[in-house]
Amino acid sequence: MSCVIEVCNLPPYFTKQQVDQSLQNFKDKIVYSQMFGVKKETGTRTAQFTFADQQTATEAIILANTLFSPNNKYPVILKANKVLQNQQVKRSESSKRTTI
């Protein structure tokens, strides 16, 4: 069963390449990843990862806590729960279009 993790509150200068490189040990187990733009309200970015299994996701969370919070100015917030998994399914279903 796949597991979706959101890494929130990343510094605005973080790029998708930097995040992907940081999680290089897990690249074979990352099903999908995306990076969102800088939020105007907080000045931070969010990355979202879908991992192949729960065990890998747990290991990645531990690593992310040490890698993505080099200082306390941007304490990283991690979200991993079924709500995200359900949102992912809803998004993919709503993106399907039927043409007549």
Q: Are 51 and 2 in contact (CB under 8 A)?
A: yes
pLDDT of residue 75: 61
Indicate whether this model's pTM tops 0.85. no
In this prediction, the residues of the chain whose per-residue pLDDT falls under 70 are 65, 67-100
Q: Any idea which architecture 3-95 has in CATH?
A: 2-Layer Sandwich (3.30)
Helix (H) or strand (E) holding 51: strand 45-51
